[in-house]
Amino acid sequence: MKAIIDTSSLLSLVRYYLPFDNHGVLFNLIKNKIESGEIIILDAVLEECKFVSKKLVVNKLTYLVDREFQQNFEVPVKTDELIPLAPQRFLNMLKNQFAIPGQLKRLTDAEFEVQKSRFLESADAKMIMHCQYMIKDFPDEDVFIVTEESNSENDLKLFKKIPAICQILDIKIMNLPELLSKFTELDLGFNFKK
């Protein structure tokens, strides 16, 4: 299993899960999964984490910005030279399938080109593009994106949210609770009676 995790999921992890992780079980499990390459942190995601919620993610998951950890485990994954798997097809889909038609109509061609360039440099686009390469490179593995985003409206943004784009591209997605449920070795000591 390989999971590319987004900023919203990392933020949820440190906000809502780690405060109850009194013995560091979850903290260490996430660290081990990053070390083993099962959880992938992209440079664009890590960069976003440095600017959201008063740096909460990097202040709690300090190993993500530790130089020795980064060198030993190749974290974060570099995406500065990342291009789409099928560039022409991806760029066509950007305008014809990923863009929200009502928003697209309001833009001139030049304005669309600026928005397209911004999107291609965003963490969302880089996660999607990197995931496509991983699916190609690891055909026998489950590869997916972990996000807390939903398919609901996109707050007047030009491009659809990650789940909607992943649905078009046939990329598997899941949220943080679904990811954590995949880790059978995780036991936080909760005992729910049925």
Ordered by where they begin, the domains of the chain are 2-182 (3.40.50)
The confidence band for 193, taking pLDDT boundaries of 50, 70 and 90, is very low
Tokens of 160: 């659809």
How far apart CA 104 and CA 90 sit, in angstroms, is 17
Question: Mind listing the pLDDT tens digit for each residue in 175-185?
Answer: 999 999 998 88
Tell me what pLDDT residue 153 has.
Answer: 65
CA 61, 62, 66, 68: dihedral to nearest 10 degrees? -70
Tell me what pLDDT residue 157 has.
Answer: 84
Lowest mean pLDDT among 42-56, 61-75, 94-108, 112-126: 94-108
Tell me what pLDDT residue 194 has.
Answer: 47
Tokens of 165: 């784009």
Residue 191 pLDDT exceeds 60: no
Mean pLDDT of the chain: 92
Pairing of strands 39-40, 2-5: parallel
